[in-house]
Chains A and B, each alone.
Chain A
Amino acid sequence: MRKIKFLFFVLAVFGLSRSCTELDSEVYSEITPETFFQDDAQLSSAASSAYTTLYRWWEDMWLMDMPTDQSAMPIRSNRGWDDGGRWPAIVRHDFPPQDDIFNGAWSGYFGGVSSCNRLIEIFTENVGSDSPIVFELRALRAFYYYTLLDLFGNVPLETSFSDANPAPEQSSPEEVFAFIESELLEVIPGLSEDKGATYAKMNKWVAWTVLAKMYLNANNYNAGDHWVEAAEAANNVINSGAYQIEPFYFSNFMVDNEGSQENIFVVPYDKVNTGEQFAIIRRATHQSVTGTLDYPAGTSWGGVSIQEDFYNAFEENDKRRGMFFIGQQYTIEAGPTWSEEIGFFYQNPIDEYRLIDCSEDVDRFVGVLDQLPPEAADCNVNIVPEYWFTNDGRTGYENGARYAKWELETGPENTARQSNDYAIFRYAHILLIRAEALWRMNSGSAEALMLVNQVRERAGVDPLDILTEDDLFWEFKKELAMENHARTILIRYDRWLEPWFQKEQQDSSRNLYPIPLNQLNANPNLEQNPGYN
């Protein structure tokens, strides 16, 4: 019997040192909500998470800029970045609902919405619903909703996190419009007016800017004309005195552009802290940048370029043409530089420094060398993206101007990261919004003309005497090129469906993107947008 007692003693020591059915495992390296939100630093950290959705803003050039009449993505000589014709298809407005770019944007911005919903509940509990942070988060949520409205039109409206409908139904564009409008108007009085303290955050003027853009495009959302409201909203930003036109266009796009007095709302890209999310070098530079800017070979995928008509729309003396890589390219010895005034240029473009070795690109043409023009081998970037095609639709790297709008560093350690802050809204945009709104109400509006000329003056082009729809359209397009507004502008001017480049005429269903297939599969209450079934 003693032995059995001994046995049970041992059993007790081994087995029961931890209760024999203890199943609450320790959580070591993750934070539990119960232990967080203890001090201001933790609250700011939590609040900042609502903004991280914005880091995808450049990624969404696939939806906001690429499929427009200014961009092209021809298949390059070596088909290196062809992805089965996926990108040319997007340019043709072939929008398959299963493509990740749609689900990425949908779940990205709705992730932002849900993040705001969650934080609004937490902050309402911690600091009350009338606190500035709750107003700020509501304004940010309205901006995310506006982005979703603009892309997908029919989106679910969900403002709760803890009591959210597991399978919400869509609202119509006009309902979403009304929600955003009322939400912003309600929170604006409670938002900060201190633009310095709210850099890259929602403040009162950012909120008015969102409203101004939405009002101007109200017809895109079946909400009827809102010219008065658009002009008023823009005017609130102008009258704040918080922002002004920078003397030089490119001040807004330099690596160190935090001091820009023009940028209203930015994505604070940073090459250390925000990952490979502003990868313009990879996507949209010419292959010769490896020589020009001292990048490792293979840095540039060379795909995204400019349509010829768009480049030609710029007057010769338009300083904004500095946003393009064009013509003969040189080595780094030629001193490639960005100037705030004229953008990209070579300080010393002498013959000795000419880049001549772009033949490698040509060498990759297989069996079609005889189809190439003689100049195909030089490093002279021409403005025509389809300057020549092979029979199977490939074109050379040198074809098509490329974007040099944002200052690029030479010899960077990681070419997929940029530290330029990316302006979602600039003051020049606000001026143009007010100009167009006034012009829509009165095509003879002197103020409208004055505002447009203010923008033109900075660009170094002659002032206009009278303002036509075309003038306004092109001023918007040139001023905001590659800033993810082009699609919305085209729809507003009824030009989105017109044929251009490789795209044919389309019906109005293309004004909205498809509801992503993943979302339709996951939520039975969602209906596909018309024209995509």
Chain B
Amino acid sequence: MFSNLDAGVTSISVDHRDFGAFNYQVTVTGTVVDSQGAPLPGATVIEKGTSNGTQSDFDGNFSIQVSDPNAILVVSYIGFREVELPLEGETELDITLSEDTAKLDEVVVVGYGSLQKKEITSAVASVSTEDFNQGNVFTSEQLLQGKVAGLDITKAGSDLNQPFSIRLRGVSTLGANSTPLIVIDGVIGGNLDLVDPNDIASIDVLKDASAAAIYGTRGSAGVILVTTKKGSYSEKATLNYSSYVSFDEPLNDRRIRPATAEENIRFGGVDFGSNTNFEDEILRTGVSNVHNLSFSRNNGSTNYRASINYRDIGGTLVDQGFEQLNARINISQNFLDDKLTLGSIVSVTKREINYSNPAALRHASTFSPTAPVYINDDPQQGYFETFIEQQYNPVAMIKLNPHLGVRKNFLGNFKLDYKPITGLNLGMSYSIQSTNEQQGVYSYSNSRAGAEATNGRARRSSYDQINELFEATGTYTGETDDWAYTALLGYSYQTIVDESFSVENTDFITNELTFNNLDIGNGFRDPEGVRATASNKQESLLASFFGRINLTFKDNYYLSASYRREGSSKFGQNNRWGNFWALSGGAELTDLFKIKAFNSLKMRVGYGVTGNLPSQNYAYLPTLGAIPGQQGYVDGSFLPAIQPTSNPNPDLKWEEKGELNVGIDFALMDYRISGSVDYYKRNTKDLLNVIDVPSPPNLFNQSLVNLGELESNGFEVQINFQAINKADFNWEISANAARNVTKLIKFNNDIPEGGGLLRGEGIAQNGSYAAYIQEGERIGNIIAPTFAGYNSEGLPYFLDEEGNRTTDNQEADIFTVQGNGLPDLTAGIANTFRYKNWDLNFFFRGAFGHDIANGRRARYEHAGYVGIQNPVITDGFTEEDKGLLVWHSLYVEDASFVKLDNATLGYTIPLSDDSVLQKLRLYISGQNLFVITNYLGSDPEVRYLDRGRGIGRTPGFSGNPQYGGDILVPGIDRWELGQYPNRTITLGVNISL
């Protein structure tokens, strides 16, 4: 080396290497940007092999002095793939980082803390803003639909006021909560209504028990952790505005067609002299307007983000929609040299809902199309009615039965974090979440539906819930040469108080005031008047102690153990406390086995025990009350007969689920392909369930008990592939698939062998059953008599046990399993393209192998019943059929489907440097653009639960729903619900400054 110098070489540039050992400095400057050219502030730039490094500034610019013009720079940024860049003499660099789809450094929220993705040892999925569904997304769960393997978020039909059903890894309980626990910014049991989808930064899903056990009691159905947006570190404040307008239309090719007036008459219907398509009369294009405005600032000490969100959502059913205003402030401030952080979140939502009358949908297909909307087509003369039993003019059903509601939610959250010494964080939080919903329904005196013979009927109801949570945690993080560890200890106490109140009055002298002045009605004054009142207040308490240890060895081996001891007021003294725990470990195998083909190959194994609570608060306690319609008669007058209202079960205890999860996370082809595969096996014991009990000795023939055993297993695959990753063209594919099979191992010791339970009553009419639950069998079996053609009179033949044809379907033993309501496989695949300033995303979602009991066809697709109801006509319709309201195998249909769930095209308008705008993006988005399926019903979406028969009859009161339906009876398309899917087109703009 020295010889050259001795040789008198004057230019150091002649041979850079020779001078490497000297403290000689080369200044290299550059800019770090992402693949779309946006600067990346805070990116780390390090000279390889040294501790010499710097960070990029707010504009992505950096400057570093290196010792060697041929040095190698290592540039990294969270969420992006690290690059190593040999300088080769260059001193000015434009560095483009591409997103790291494997996201090994990404921070994943795991409940009471977070881990880097590579440290995760259980089944956790994380979805952040850029992966969220776009379009007219007005509830937070829609953001995730189809994005996480094993997480099914579904809703048949398009009633925007109906909640989605959320299922993680199928069914794990019979009678307890089957919806994942929602935790929003640490608030357990958070209400998604309180979070505008626009304010969500990321959603993490704890899928298996080893992840969820830290939430012990309510983790059995999985946990969904929602993190809202905060101010991001920036020199100046940012302002974001986004807006869209959406147009919803019924997906016409999926609507079940009612017979036309001409057909109705041909089938023998009464001709009322008109020709009306009642579906067209009550369906419309729903228009929605949404505006979101947020501003934020984070200077490292003060961090705030404030947002206001306005949504005016119009449904496709006339009058249906809601108008919502939500405001949210996330704020935190550091004190004492950043050792103390105080934070607060306040969120307020008001939603004014018009429920319309969804029951009108089924009447729209069954009400005679020969009827006019108005008597003599003259609105002044009122709505035309046919006066056929239980058939009502659908337009009148909506217009004469207004059903409105106001939902008000409030969240106040106060947080304190104190770091007395390095590595130790003491945290404390208190939150109060309040939910209030008031509803009102009025049935006009001239309405046949709802008001019959009551001369106007008004109902009001109010439901309130206050959820208070106090938590204290201590976390200590430390490391030695080989080990890194985090230990957590915590305490949590939660109270939930529910109150409800309802009043019904009738006999109104005027319809003008609808339900706004109940005293105008005479129902309470008239001794024989129709009236009702009810009120209820309940409380439940939860206390818990928990801890967790995470260990990392040599950055390649990971171990996690957690424990939660939790007590609930819902059980008797001796059964209150339950212990829930989990153990999981992971190992990065690429180093260990020198696997070259993979950039990362991590194996995970975990086992955990989680619990589940009953919905009933006092089921263990013998309590007394009055039963409606069961007044006591004493000395010639009536009084409430105080008596037990249910069978108490003092032995009620926790439902426990054990789950084993084995998974592999991998990345290969220079991280272009990454993904994970999980297999799980879960077993739930002491299932909480309402079962038949003998009478005597019981007062009632059903009790809530711990009984039976469920077992399920399944796998999940999630893969990301960066097909093309060029500076101005980028194509990314993200796919997931999941399979779950749930078996009922044991239901009731006392059921005779081969016995089972008939469920899903009323599929075609009273007493027809569509579901059969039997020990050792899969959940979700659909039963029906086997159809074997029509006889000469057009009545269906069924096969009896010997295989002979019979027309008698009363014999229960000719019912056989015809299908299963749960899918064999669910899958989603998203493609994202970026070309210069354009971005295009389309997302297909499908479910395969599930069947649906098509109650609408069984009930309505009969020309012979035209005297009562107008038939519906699908491709399965035949005039040969003279059967009526009949249930058989013809109506159990394969409902596998693929949907183009979402397609979005966006354009980011290039802005000059001096523009006041930071970003301006326009997009057009389509949801549910088409459906490919053989299902003859309107919506082949999986029905994860059965909402039963009562629904859709009269405008209902929500009160406190018991998890929305029967999860043992999936796959039923009820005739009571005239569901049809929507197609939505959205035009939107995003602006940042």
Given A55-B630, A80-B389, A272-B527, A24:B569 Cβ within 8 A? yes
User: Is B642 within 8 A of A113, CB to CB?
Assistant: no
User: Is B809 within 8 A of A84, CB to CB?
Assistant: yes
B624: nearest residue on chain A (CB-CB)? A31
A468 contacts the other chain (CB 8 A): no
B66-74, B143-151, B537-545, B930-938 - interface stretch: B537-545
Given A46-B643, A52-B643, A268-B633, A84:B694 Cβ within 8 A? no
Residue of B387, B536, B539, B866 touching A26 (CB-CB under 8 A)? B539
CB distance from B128 to the nearest CB of A (A): 32
CB-defined interface of A92-116 with B at 8 Å, one 1/0 digit per residue? 0010101100010011001101110
In the complex, what distance in Å separates the CA atom of A76 from the CA atom of B178? Answer: 44
Residue of A15, A31, A165, A365 touching B470 (CB-CB under 8 A)? A15
CB distance from A500 to the nearest CB of B (A): 20
Q: How many residues of A contact B (CB 8 A)?
A: 107
Provide the residues of chain A in CB contact with B728, threshold 8 Å.
none
A49 contacts the other chain (CB 8 A): yes
B50 contacts the other chain (CB 8 A): no
Provide the residues of chain A in CB contact with B758, threshold 8 Å.
98
A168 contacts the other chain (CB 8 A): yes
User: Is A412 within 8 A of B453, CB to CB?
Assistant: yes
B316-324, B679-687, B698-706 - interface stretch: B698-706
In the complex, what distance in Å separates the CA atom of A241 from the CA atom of B506? Answer: 46
B102-110, B210-218, B615-623 - interface stretch: B615-623
Provide the residues of chain B in CB contact with A3, threshold 8 Å.
336, 340, 418, 420
Residues of chain B in range 607-664 having any CB-CB distance to chain A below 8 Å: 617-618, 621-625, 627-636, 638-645
B623: nearest residue on chain A (CB-CB)? A30
In the complex, what distance in Å separates the CA atom of A271 from the CA atom of B523? Answer: 13
A446 contacts the other chain (CB 8 A): no
Q: Which of A3, A45, A200, A412 has the most CB of B within 10 A?
A: A45
A302: nearest residue on chain B (CB-CB)? B389
B915 contacts the other chain (CB 8 A): no
Given A36-B642, A51-B632, A271:B528 Cβ within 8 A? yes
B472 contacts the other chain (CB 8 A): yes
B529 contacts the other chain (CB 8 A): yes
Residues of chain A in range 425-460 having any CB-CB distance to chain B below 8 Å: none
B750 contacts the other chain (CB 8 A): yes
Given A199-B636, A413-B530, A519:B643 Cβ within 8 A? no
B89 contacts the other chain (CB 8 A): no
| Across the A-B interface, the 5 shortest Cβ-Cβ residue pairs | A48-B632, A275-B629, A364-B867, A164-B697, A523-B694
B268 contacts the other chain (CB 8 A): yes
A4-12, A63-71, A203-211, A477-485 - interface stretch: A4-12
In the complex, what distance in Å separates the CA atom of A418 from the CA atom of B666? Answer: 72
Residue of B340, B390, B632, B868 touching A79 (CB-CB under 8 A)? B868
In the complex, what distance in Å separates the CA atom of A96 from the CA atom of B470? Answer: 55
Chain B residues engaging chain A, CB cutoff 8 angstroms: 267-270, 336, 340, 385, 387-390, 416, 418, 420, 426, 428, 430, 448, 452-455, 470, 472, 491, 493, 495, 506-507, 527-530, 535-543, 567-570, 576, 617-618, 621-625, 627-636, 638-645, 691-701, 748, 750-752, 755, 757-758, 764-768, 793, 795, 809-810, 812, 863-868, 882, 884-887
A77 contacts the other chain (CB 8 A): yes
User: Is B885 within 8 A of A15, CB to CB?
Assistant: no
Given A52-B632, A79-B865, A45:B453 Cβ within 8 A? no
User: Is B810 within 8 A of A25, CB to CB?
Assistant: no
Provide the residues of chain B in CB contact with A229, threshold 8 Å.
none
A499 contacts the other chain (CB 8 A): no
A521 contacts the other chain (CB 8 A): yes
Residue of B567, B644, B701 touching A23 (CB-CB under 8 A)? B567
A147 contacts the other chain (CB 8 A): no
Q: Which of A7, A10, A86, A168 has the most CB of B within 10 A?
A: A7
User: Is B641 within 8 A of A521, CB to CB?
Assistant: no
Residue of B634, B748, B765, B795 touching A392 (CB-CB under 8 A)? B795
Some 30 contacts from A to B, beta carbons below 8 A apart, are A3-B340, A10-B416, A25-B538, A25-B570, A28-B536, A29-B536, A29-B625, A45-B634, A48-B639, A51-B641, A77-B867, A82-B765, A82-B885, A84-B768, A85-B810, A107-B700, A272-B527, A274-B629, A296-B448, A298-B388, A301-B389, A363-B270, A365-B268, A365-B867, A366-B269, A369-B268, A414-B453, A518-B692, A521-B750, A523-B750
CB distance from B248 to the nearest CB of A (A): 35
Residue of B390, B472, B641 touching A298 (CB-CB under 8 A)? B390
CB distance from A275 to the nearest CB of B (A): 3
Provide the residues of chain B in CB contact with A273, threshold 8 Å.
631, 638
Provide the residues of chain A in CB contact with B812, threshold 8 Å.
96, 98
Provide the residues of chain B in CB contact with A298, threshold 8 Å.
387-390
**Other A-B pairs, 14, CB within 8 Å; known A365-B268, A526-B694:** A14-B428, A24-B541, A24-B569, A25-B541, A42-B642, A51-B632, A84-B765, A118-B699, A272-B638, A275-B630, A296-B452, A364-B270, A366-B269, A392-B882
